C-alpha cells in the first residue's frame, strides 16, 4: 500500500516537473521571439501583407563653372506586374510589348507564372509610354517613379563626363569618379495587400521619400569646350589623323577649362552592343595615355637651362644639321642645318642641336631634378581614374645619347595633362599647380557643401626665368614655326612639335603633330595643347597640322572675353596679308628651292631625306603671307 502510494507520488512529481520544464521552454521561446526576434518577425509579417515599390533618388546634376547643365536627370518610371492580379496573360503581354517596345515572348515569359508575387518588366520608361499603357486600363500593372540620365550637349566632353548604367550608377569618367556624391538615397512606397497582392482599401501605407544626389560644378567652361571640340572636328576632317586631342587650362590655378579627344561618342546613346569600340571612344587620352612629346618639350629644357645658369640669352650655337653622340647621328629637322644662332633663335627654329647641347650642359642629375619639379614620371593627382604617371628612364640606364635626346623630347614619355601642366608652370612664374575638374559641390537647392581651391604642387623655376621664357614663347609665334597661331593685334606665344612614333621594330614612320601655346603671351590666362596622332593629310608637321587649330580656339576665347586689340593691329594685319605668290619649286634641287624661299622671306620644312623636290604644300601660285611655312617633300 505504502509502496503504491510512494510510486504514485513519484509519477505525479515527474509529471509536474515535465510540465514545468515545458512551460519554462515555452516561456524562453516566447521571450526569445518577442525580445530578440521581434524585428525579424515583424519584417516577415510586413513582407507578407505589404507590397513595396522603390522610389529611386534623383541623381545630382553635373554643371560647368557657370552653372550650365552638362548632365541632368528627368523623371521616368519602372513598370511592374503582379501576375496574380491579371485576368489575361496574353492581353497584358500584348499591351506591354506594344507600349514598352519589347518582344512579346520576353514579356509573356516574365508574367505567366502566377506564383510570383511581383516582377519588374522594364526600367526607365518614359511618361509618354506610361500614358499609352494606361489607356488599356489593365489590372495588375504598377509603376515606380525613377529617373533617366540626360546629357544636353550629346557628345560634348564625353570622355571627361562619362556615363551611367541602367541603374544610374556611374560607369566611366566623372560620373564614376564622383558617384558617391551624385547617387543620392532611394526611398520606398509600402501599401497593405492581401495574399494575392491586391491592395486593401482604407489601410495605412508608408512613404519614405528619396534624397536627391548632390550637384557637382566643374572647372569646365562649356563655351571653351565647344570651341575646342569644333577645332578638333575641323582638324579631323582636314588633316585626317587617327585621333585629335586637346586641352585648355588656366595656368594660374590648374583648372581644366576644356578637354576632348575626337572621335568621341554620344553620351545619350552609347554603343553598348560593341564594347570594344565604346571603351576605345570612352578613353580619356589626355589623362590615361602617354607619348613622346617631341619639340614642345624643348620649352621645359630651355627653362631648366636658363634657371640653372647653364645657358644665357647671349649664348650662340652652331648647327650643321646634325650632332654625333655616342657614335649615333642625331639629325635636325632642317637637314642643311641652321648655322650660327642665338639661344632664342634655337627655340624659334626648334633646332635639335641646340637642345642636345642644353641637355648635356644640365647633366643627368640636374635634368632629373627638374623632371621631378615638373611632375614627370609621377602622378599629379588629377581627379580622374587611371591617371598615367609617364615614363622616365631609370637614371642608372641612361646613356649620354639618351640624355641628349631627352633635351628635345625623345627617350621620355608624358601624358598630355603632364606636359601642359609643366608648361603652365614655366609660364605662370614657376608654380606647378595640381590639375583638377571639380570646382564645388552643392545641394539640389544650391547650398554649398564643398569648394575646391587651387593646390600648389611644386616650385619649378624662378619668376625671372619664367619672364624670359614668355618672351621667347611669343617670339616663336611672331617670327618662326608657330606663326600659324599668330593673331593680328593680340599676343600669343607657343611652340610646335613633330614626334616620330616608335614600335617594337623601331621607328614606325608615323607621327604625332602638336602645338602648345598661351594667351595673352605676357601673362597667360589660357594655355592650349593640341595633338594630332598619325595625320594622313598633306603634312605631319605641328606647324601645319596642329597650330592653326589652336589659333581657332584662341580666336574664340578672345571673342568670348571681348578683348580689345593692341595699337599694333594695322601693322600686324599688313604682315599677315597674303601677297606672296609661291613659285613652282617641284623638280628643283633642295638647296636651290631653299634659297628661293629665303629670298621671299618664307619658312620651309622638309619631308623626306632626298635632294630633289617631288611636291610642295601649298601648291605653286598659291598666295601666302610673310614668314609662312612651305612643306617641301623630297
pLDDT in tens, 588-617: 888 888 888 878 787 777 777 788 888 877
| Farthest-apart Cα atoms in the chain, separation | 147
- The yes-or-no verdict on residue 538 having pLDDT over 70 is yes
Q: What percent of the chain has pLDDT over 70?
A: 88
pLDDT confidence of 572, banded at 50, 70, 90?
low
pLDDT at residue number 385: 96
pLDDT at residue 459, rounded to an integer:
97
- The band of 214, judged by pLDDT with boundaries at 50, 70 and 90, is very high
pLDDT given at position 220: 98
Catalytic residues, which ones?
A: 295
Instruction: Copy the grid coordinates of residue 166.
Output: 541602367
Residue 540 has pLDDT above 70, yes or no: yes
Angstrom distance (rounded) from CA 330 to CA 610 = 17
Task: Encode pLDDT of 282-294 as tens digits.
Answer: 999 999 999 999 9
The Cα 482–Cα 500 span in angstroms is 19
Q: Which distant-in-sequence residues (6+ apart) come within 8 Å of 274 by Cβ? A: none
pLDDT in tens, 10-49: 777 778 777 787 888 787 777 766 767 666 666 665 555 5
Average pLDDT over residues 46-67: 79
Rounded to whole angstroms, how far apart are CA atoms 64 and 525? Answer: 18
Q: What share of the chain is helix, strand, coil (3-state, %, to 5)?
A: 40, 25, 35
Give φ, ψ of 406 to 5 degrees. -60, -30
Q: Can you give the pLDDT at residue 44?
A: 60
Provide the pairing of β-strand 243-249 with 526-533.
antiparallel
pLDDT at 358: 96
- The Cβ of residue 334 has, within 10 Å, a number of other Cβ atoms equal to 20
Determine the Cα–Cα distance for residues 560 and 225; give it in Å rounded to an integer. Answer: 12
Phi and psi at residue 571, in whole multiples of 5°?
-65, -40
CA distance 628 to 634: 19
Q: Please state, rounded to an integer, the average pLDDT across all residues of the chain.
A: 86
Q: How many CA atoms are closer than 13 Å to the CA of 196, on its beta-carbon side?
A: 10
Q: Of 89-98, 211-220, 483-492, give the lowest mean pLDDT range.
A: 483-492
Which pTM value belongs to this model?
Answer: 0.84
Side-chain-side CA neighbours of 613 within 13 Å: the count stands at 25
Q: pLDDT digits over 65-82, tens only?
A: 999 999 999 888 888 888
Span 366-400, pLDDT tens digits: 999 999 999 999 999 999 999 999 999 999 999 99
Compute how many other C-beta atoms are within 10 angstroms of the C-beta atom of residue 2. Answer: 6
Mean pLDDT of 78-89: 85
Contact 167, 281 (CB under 8 A): no
Span 128-177, pLDDT tens digits = 888 998 888 888 888 877 888 999 999 999 999 999 998 889 999 999 99
DSSP 325: E
Amino acid at each position: 500500500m505504502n509502496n503504491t502510494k510512494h510510486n504514485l507520488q513519484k509519477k505525479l512529481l515527474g509529471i509536474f516537473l515535465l510540465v514545468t520544464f515545458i512551460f519554462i521552454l515555452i516561456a524562453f521561446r516566447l521571450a526569445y521571439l518577442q525580445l530578440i526576434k521581434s524585428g525579424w518577425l515583424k519584417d516577415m509579417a510586413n513582407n507578407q501583407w505589404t507590397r513595396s515599390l522603390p522610389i529611386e533618388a534623383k541623381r545630382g546634376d553635373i554643371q560647368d563653372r557657370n552653372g550650365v547643365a552638362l548632365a541632368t536627370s528627368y523623371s521616368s518610371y519602372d513598370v511592374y506586374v503582379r501576375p496574380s492580379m491579371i485576368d489575361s496573360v496574353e492581353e497584358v503581354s500584348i499591351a506591354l510589348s506594344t507600349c514598352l517596345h519589347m518582344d512579346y515572348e520576353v514579356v509573356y515569359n516574365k508574367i505567366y507564372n502566377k506564383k510570383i508575387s511581383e516582377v519588374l518588366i522594364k526600367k526607365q520608361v518614359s511618361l509618354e509610354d506610361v500614358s499609352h499603357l494606361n489607356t488599356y486600363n489593365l489590372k495588375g500593372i504598377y509603376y515606380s517613379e525613377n529617373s533617366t540620365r540626360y546629357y544636353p550637349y550629346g557628345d560634348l566632353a564625353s570622355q571627361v563626363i562619362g556615363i551611367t548604367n541602367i541603374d544610374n550608377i556611374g560607369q566611366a569618367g566623372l560620373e564614376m569618379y564622383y558617384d558617391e556624391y551624385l547617387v543620392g538615397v532611394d526611398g520606398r512606397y509600402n501599401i497593405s495587400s492581401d495574399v494575392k497582392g491586391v491592395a486593401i482599401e482604407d489601410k495605412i501605407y508608408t512613404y519614405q521619400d528619396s534624397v536627391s544626389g548632390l550637384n557637382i560644378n566643374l572647372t569646365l567652361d562649356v563655351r571653351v569646350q565647344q570651341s575646342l571640340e569644333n577645332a578638333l572636328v575641323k582638324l579631323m576632317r582636314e588633316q585626317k589623323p587617327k585621333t585629335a586631342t586637346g586641352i585648355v587650362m588656366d595656368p594660374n590655378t590648374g583648372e581644366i577649362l576644356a578637354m576632348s579627344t575626337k572621335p568621341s561618342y554620344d553620351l545619350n546613346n552609347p554603343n553598348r552592343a560593341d564594347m570594344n569600340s565604346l571603351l576605345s571612344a570612352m578613353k580619356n587620352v589626355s589623362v590615361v595615355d602617354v607619348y613622346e612629346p617631341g619639340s614642345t618639350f624643348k620649352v621645359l629644357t630651355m627653362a631648366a637651362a636658363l634657371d640653372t645658369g647653364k645657358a644665357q640669352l647671349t649664348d650662340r650655337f652652331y648647327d650643321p644639321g646634325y650632332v654625333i653622340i655616342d657614335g649615333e647621328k642625331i639629325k635636325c629637322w632642317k637637314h642643311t642645318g641652321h648655322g650660327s644662332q642665338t639661344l632664342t633663335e634655337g627655340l624659334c627654329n626648334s633646332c635639335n642641336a641646340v637642345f642636345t647641347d642644353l641637355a648635356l650642359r644640365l647633366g643627368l642629375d640636374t635634368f632629373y631634378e627638374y623632371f621631378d619639379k615638373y611632375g614627370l614620371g609621377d602622378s599629379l593627382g588629377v581627379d580622374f581614374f587611371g591617371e598615367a604617371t609617364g615614363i622616365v628612364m631609370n637614371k642608372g640606364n641612361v646613356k649620354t645619347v639618351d640624355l641628349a635626346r631627352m633635351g628635345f623630347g625623345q627617350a621620355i614619355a608624358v601624358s598630355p595633362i603632364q606636359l601642359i601642366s609643366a608648361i603652365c608652370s614655366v609660364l605662370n612664374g614657376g608654380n606647378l599647380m595640381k590639375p583638377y575638374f571639380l570646382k564645388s559641390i552643392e545641394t539640389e537647392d544650391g547650398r554649398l557643401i564643398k569648394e575646391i581651391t587651387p593646390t600648389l604642387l611644386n616650385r619649378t623655376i624662378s619668376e625671372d626665368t619664367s619672364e624670359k621664357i614668355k618672351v621667347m614663347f611669343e617670339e616663336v609665334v611672331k617670327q618662326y614655326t608657330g606663326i600659324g597661331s599668330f593673331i593680328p593685334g593680340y599676343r600669343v606665344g607657343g611652340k610646335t612639335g613633330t614626334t616620330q612614333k616608335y614600335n617594337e621594330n623601331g621607328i614606325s614612320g608615323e607621327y604625332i603633330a602638336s602645338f602648345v601655346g598661351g594667351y595673352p603671351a605676357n601673362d597667360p590666362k589660357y594655355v592650349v595643347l593640341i595633338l594630332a596622332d598619325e595625320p594622313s593629310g598633306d603634312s605631319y608637321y605641328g606647324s601645319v597640322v596642329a597650330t592653326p587649330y589652336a589659333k581657332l580656339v584662341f580666336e574664340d576665347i578672345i571673342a568670348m572675353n571681348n578683348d580689345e586689340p593692341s595699337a599694333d593691329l594695322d601693322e600686324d594685319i599688313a604682315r599677315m596679308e597674303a601677297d606672296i605668290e609661291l613659285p613652282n619649286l617641284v623638280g628643283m634641287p633642295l638647296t636651290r628651292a631653299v634659297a628661293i624661299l629665303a629670298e621671299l622671306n618664307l619658312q620651309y620644312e622638309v619631308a623626306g631625306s632626298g635632294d630633289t623636290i617631288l611636291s610642295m604644300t601649298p601648291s605653286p601660285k598659291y598666295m601666302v603671307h610673310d614668314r609662312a611655312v612651305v612643306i617641301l617633300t623630297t
